Amino acid sequence: MRKYFYTRNKIDSRDVRYFLHKIEELKEINPEYLVQAVKYEKKHKVSITLSEREAKIVEKYGKATDILINYLQEAELHEGYQY
């Protein structure tokens, strides 16, 4: 299954896969980072072919998957990781 993700920062398909698997492990959400993830325009479009495991993650979170990927990007930016 092919899926398009809209992100704030330019990332490649490997980064999207990394964030999809981090979504599975996500235990709590920082509201400040979430506001930043929702607030900014999503300028970049990344398409990937999902594995079965990744398809289950996308199915579980639905449209919120894009928001969570952007949330994780925002959280990592605050930890000092640059894209």
CATH number for the domain harbouring residue 55: 3.30.70.3260
pTM for the whole thing?
0.88
Tell me what pLDDT residue 83 has: 55
* Within-domain flag for 41: yes
Does 56 fall in a domain? yes
Q: Is 66 within the bounds of a domain?
A: yes
Q: Give me the domain span that covers residue 21.
A: 2-78
Give 47's pLDDT tier (boundaries 50, 70, 90): very high
| Per-residue pLDDT at 82 | 59
When divided into structural domains, the chain yields a total of: 1
Cα-based distances in Å from 33 to 9, 15, 19:
14, 18, 15
- Confirm whether 83 is domain-assigned: no
Within-domain flag for 73: yes
Residue 49 lies in a domain: yes
